[in-house]
Structure 1
Amino acid sequence: MNANILEINTKTLRKNISIIKAYTQTKFCFPVKANAYGHGLDIIVKNSYDLVDYFAVACLSEATQVYSACHEKPILVFGRVEYDDISKVLDCDFIYSIHSIEDIRSLSKIAKESSIKIKVHININTGMNRMGVGFDSYKEVIDKAYNSQHIELLGVYSHFACADDKNHPFNLQQNQKFKEVVAYTKSIKENVICHLANSYGLVGQADVCYDMVRPGILSYGFLPEFEVDDIVKEIQPIARLTSEIIKIISLNDGDSVGYSLLHKGFEGEYIATIPIGYGDGFFRALGGRGFVTIDEDTYPIVGKMSMDAMAISLGTNHKSLRVGNQVEIISNNPSLPNSAKNIAKLLNTIEYDVAATLNERIVRIGL
């Protein structure tokens, strides 16, 4: 079996979701795009479907993966989809995002040819300027979708641009725009699902939960930097990445380690080789900067990270460490230096990046 294992604590996952549901008291749309933020889509879906109301993905291939794992819940596709591909999966009853009036025309054509109605949520651009219907034309698009014989309008949504900064004034501006969209949409069709809040939006902003929330990173256990309510603080990371020692050597004075001989060893220093590298999606930039833990003792990563391996220094006393000992590469303890949170700080990135870059060479298991 592969030595590199991402362990998913399914009990913690379910607890996190339950905390968020109790906190928001609204429908729960679970984003599982990018292989469930790197955690393993199949494991995540199968261990959460009974707690959530929707799943959300970025593209059609991800939607089919979710459908294979569970077709009991609606699946919303955020991204724009090639219309030729939609005709191949009509039986799956996916829900598609509308980003322009042209999308309605194209989907209506497919639906008419197949004698069905295609379900949609309309994405409204309230200021992020990435995707979605322009704010100045949202009424026209909503009207056209509602009045189409071949489109079933189920929802409207938008997305916060600055939710990680709870005091940013743009959050309020976006919410005010979305309130206008909600009022107009509800005047046409009362039971349309309106949703705006992502993870840090729902814990950082007031009156943003509407009919449904979309807590991605929060469900996986990553809290924002700003202060949150006590109940939210109970959320914990659901994953830990482990590997093992495959070789231990003792250096002589003047010996070096790895590419470019970057790490200069000293007499009696013990070096352990761990079979994980940037080829597994672990950050090459952590070479000479990052840490791992063994039984919560911390050891530095030394030298340049290789594609398939990295070296750690055990110092001059490797105690009882042996080949085969488990090494914690990413800890689920937020206080340790190799937690996803602290790795992200070290690399000036975000926890999403740490988890989502882990690739298929790493085995995912649910516990």
Structure 2
Amino acid sequence: MISPLTSSPEDRAGAVLTVDLAALVENWRRLKRKAGAACDMGAVVKADAYGLGLAPVARALKDAGCATFYVAHLDEAVALRGIIGPSPRIVCMHGPTPGRTERDFAAHNVIPVLSTAEHIKAWRKFAVAADVLMESMIQIDTGMNRLGLTAREFTTHMDDPEGFLGLHPLALMSHLACADTPSHPLNRLQQERFASALATFRTKFGDAKGSLANSAGILLGPAWHYDFARPGIALYGARATIDGPAWPTVPVVRLAARILQVRRVDAAAPVGYGATVQAPDGAKLATVSMGYADGLLRAASPGGSGVLDGFKVPILGRVSMDLTTFDVSLVPESSAVPGAFIEVIGAAHTVDDLAREAGTVGYEILTALGARFHRRYLPAPPPSARTS
């Protein structure tokens, strides 16, 4: 018989991930105010809500008034439906597997995004055979060359009386390729192409809405907003743009790693696998219980850092699977002790700071967050405290 654990999950954890749901909701509200009342401000919660936990994130946003949620895969949509109940819209951006999963979309009231001629044909066939009249979104490509009908395919479907027969499109949608660089000329070109296609689409579906803007697209201005906005990264407190002034998001994530051991290097010596870095004579090193298995990317060494007692502490040597060593030589002895925590992500060392050090983007940092942390969720305001 296995004895029950007497210690707390936090005491056993090598690192603690704190998610501030009130900050998340505030970021959603700021974007909603930016886009205006005419735009349905949704939330992209794919990839386990960018690594932060689908259930707590979705519930907080639903309670705040979010009515449309976006995921990538059908299994994500089904899990989300069980969390948020029957009323909110769930849009599955990868759409159905043609001829195989349409019935599951209908059973769970998941709106499919139809991006290919095969998608459209299979959905139309299913809708007619099952006598289902259900909303969908039609995706067109306006310059990203990733998903969506090409301009030629869109024109072919519009010209064919049976091209969209049997469909009940809620919206036409597309995706911006360079919205994170506001000055990029493709932003305006995609907006113009989308506006033209939407006007054409509405000659056949007069009530069809438009959806173009992701987080960075919302910041481009009203011409990109249309009827449905799909923010992701900005909800979670990371920067949506590469250049220009940063949108004022509230930090959502704090990740702190527990120090296991502190040592003094008596003489200059290598640190970590490969002996790639030399610790100088007299350096003070702290090794924490966190590594690339937890989402601290190996690319963060060298160049990565954390914060301990207000001091920036650089990573020394390679990040390994479960352990990372920091140079804490400048930190007071009273603070650099086993059991103390080095902040890897927080207000003083943000998601974007860590991403820059690792040569990547905030998206990858968040979605790489591992499952071994102890997770704490700071509550969002109750629904009664909702503001517009």
Q: Under a length normalisation based on structure 1, what TM-score does the superposition of the two structures give?
A: 0.90
Instruction: Tell me the distance in 1 between the aligned counterparts of 2:151 and 2:134.
Output: 23
1:328 corresponds in structure 2 to 343
1:188 corresponds in structure 2 to 204
Q: Residues 90 and 364 of structure 1: is their aligned pair in 2 closer, same or farther, counting only changes over 3 Å?
A: farther
Contact 2:314 2:326 in 1 (8 A): yes
1:55 corresponds in structure 2 to 69
Instruction: Tell me the distance in 1 between the aligned counterparts of 2:311 and 2:330.
Output: 14
Contact 1:166 1:205 in 2 (8 A): no
1:249-303 per-residue CA deviation (whole Å, 9 max, x = no partner) reads 2222144321122332344332211111111121112223211112322111111
Between 1:68-77 and 1:259-268, the stretch displaced more is 259-268
Between 1:162-171 and 1:258-267, the stretch displaced more is 258-267
SS in 2 for 1:105: helix
Instruction: Tell me the distance in 2 between the aligned counterparts of 1:67 and 1:263.
Output: 49
Alignment partner of 1:360 is 2:360: no
1:116-172 per-residue CA deviation (whole Å, 9 max, x = no partner) reads 234310001111110101112324435646531xx3211110011111121211111
C-alpha displacement of 1:6: 2.0
Letter paired with 2:203: S
Letter paired with 1:329: V
Contact 2:176 2:190 in 1 (8 A): yes
Q: 1:258 aligns with which of 268, 272, 281?
A: 272
Contact 1:277 1:306 in 2 (8 A): yes
**How many pairs align?**
358
1:141 corresponds in structure 2 to 157
1:51-91 per-residue CA deviation (whole Å, 9 max, x = no partner) reads 22210111112112211221331111111432423434532
2:386 corresponds in structure 1 to none
Instruction: Tell me the distance in 2 between the aligned counterparts of 1:358 and 1:158.
Output: 29
Instruction: Tell me the distance in 2 between the aligned counterparts of 1:43 and 1:273.
Output: 31
SS in 2 for 1:84: coil
Alignment partner of 1:218 is 2:234: yes
2:135 corresponds in structure 1 to 119
1:339 corresponds in structure 2 to 350
Q: Residues 312 and 9 of structure 1: is their aligned pair in 2 closer, same or farther, counting only changes over 3 Å?
A: same
Q: Residues 206 and 23 of structure 1: is their aligned pair in 2 closer, same or farther, counting only changes over 3 Å?
A: closer
Contact 1:269 1:316 in 2 (8 A): no
Instruction: Tell me the distance in 2 between the aligned counterparts of 1:324 and 1:144.
Output: 67
Q: Residues 70 and 316 of structure 1: is their aligned pair in 2 closer, same or farther, counting only changes over 3 Å?
A: closer
Between 1:247-256 and 1:45-54, the stretch displaced more is 247-256
Instruction: Tell me the distance in 2 between the aligned counterparts of 1:174 and 1:316.
Output: 50
Q: 2:145 aligns with which of 115, 129, 134?
A: 129
Letter paired with 1:323: P
Instruction: Tell me the distance in 2 between the aligned counterparts of 1:235 and 1:279.
Output: 28
Between 1:171-180 and 1:186-195, the stretch displaced more is 186-195
C-alpha displacement of 1:113: 3.9
Q: Under a length normalisation based on structure 2, what TM-score does the superposition of the two structures give?
A: 0.86
Q: 1:23 aligns with which of 34, 50, 74?
A: 34
SS in 2 for 1:342: helix
C-alpha displacement of 1:313: 1.6
2:94 corresponds in structure 1 to 79
Alignment partner of 1:270 is 2:270: no
Q: Any unmatched runs of 5+ in structure 2? A: 1-8, 379-388
Instruction: Tell me the distance in 2 between the aligned counterparts of 1:289 and 1:120.
Output: 46
Alignment partner of 1:282 is 2:300: no
1:244 corresponds in structure 2 to 258
Q: Any unmatched runs of 5+ in structure 1? A: none
Instruction: Tell me the distance in 1 between the aligned counterparts of 2:169 and 2:330.
Output: 66
Q: 2:48 aligns with which of 17, 23, 35?
A: 35
